[in-house]
Amino acid sequence: MRDIAEMTVIQIEVTNACHLRCANCTRHVGHHKKPFFMDLKYIEKAIDSLDGFPGRIGMMGGEPALHPNFLEIIKIFEKKIPRRKRQIWTAGHQWAEFKNEIERVFDKDLINYNDHTAPGKHQPLLVGIDEVVENKELVNELINNCWVQEQWSASITPKGGFFCEVAASLDQLIDGPGGVPIEKGWWKKPLEDFRNQINSYCKNCSAALPLPPESDGFGGRTGPTVDTISEKNYQLLKNKSLKIEKGHYKIFDKKITEKEIIKNSFGWAPSRYRGFMSHSEEMSREHRLMPKSEKIKAR
């Protein structure tokens, strides 16, 4: 695992609301009964806490454009963050309305656009690795080499700072104790200072476990999306999750052997959930297999 100071980006999760319903979403979209919308003053505080961070500062959701103060957040990023350090992730909600302002404030190569009209697959995240792998030394080895923490980012949510973006989402989903206070320099803390988060969330997560990717590929436009969940996580979430309430899940109820883990590792590249990069609706168009206007059929 990396210390946060070594990461290329830290995300500010301005909302976990989304107009899509992707299966196995890293932000567990579709499970939340009530999404959050980060307070503008807290966003400024979050940015200030990252003073001196050498990497980029991301605006992430859910879908950031669903935040009722989205244009104000863009202006805060413009005011407080140098241009080449700003980055944004969007599924293109109301792209025609917001495109000009987004492209004015963010360099195009730092706009990550994925409207889910081309197929993509997501790694299941709610299969508790400690529940399905009996060799605990192997569990710890897999967690210590998790691709999310090695390749993606730390996060700030309304509940504080987290060493891993998926851990941040899990904390929100299960009503966890929250992250570290976002005081200036919190990101300089050694990883050991986040041991409580590692112990609380990594063993209930399956990001580090080589599993086949699963998704409808189109963000829920073709019908209900189904998340794969282990039994203990089901018990933990059954009174908290809308997806479970609606039956949009399946139980993973087997143990995974070391032999299966080795076999599944060949060709396993969960961070490459689609085969192209896009920075705008126009760039996505040539890969599109479904009209963007196709309405979500499941909630």
Q: Is pLDDT of 35 > 70?
A: yes
| pLDDT bracket for residue 147 (50, 70, 90) | very high
Contact 185, 161 (CB under 8 A): no
Task: Look up residue 205 and give its two tokens.
Answer: 């997560």
Q: What are phi and psi of 247, to 5 degrees?
A: 80, 15
Question: What mean pLDDT is reported for the chain?
Answer: 93
Q: What are phi and psi of 222, to 5 degrees?
A: -95, 0
Higher-scoring residue by pLDDT: 182, 276: 182
| pLDDT bracket for residue 145 (50, 70, 90) | very high
Q: Output the pLDDT for position 221.
A: 85
Question: Which single residue is written with the structure tokens 């040539």?
Answer: 286
Show Cβ contacts of residue 161 under 8 Å, excluding neighbours closer than 6 positions. 49, 154, 155, 179, 180, 181, 182, 186, 187
- pTM of the shown model: 0.94
Higher-scoring residue by pLDDT: 219, 76: 76
DSSP 227-239: EEEEHHHHHHHTT
Neighbours of 112 (CB within 10 A): 17
Sign of CA dihedral 242, 244, 247, 248: positive
Assign a CATH topology to domain 4-285: TIM Barrel (3.20.20)
Q: Is pLDDT of 216 > 70?
A: no
Q: Output the pLDDT for position 297.
A: 65
The CA angle 244-246-249, to the nearest 5 degrees, is 45
Show Cβ contacts of residue 130 under 8 Å, excluding neighbours closer than 6 positions. 136, 139, 203, 204
pLDDT tens digits, 48-107: 999 999 999 999 999 999 999 999 999 999 999 999 999 999 999 999 999 999 999 999
Q: Is pLDDT of 298 > 60?
A: no
Q: Is pLDDT of 299 > 60?
A: no
Q: Output the pLDDT for position 273.
A: 75
Q: Is pLDDT of 287 > 90?
A: no
Higher-scoring residue by pLDDT: 171, 221: 171
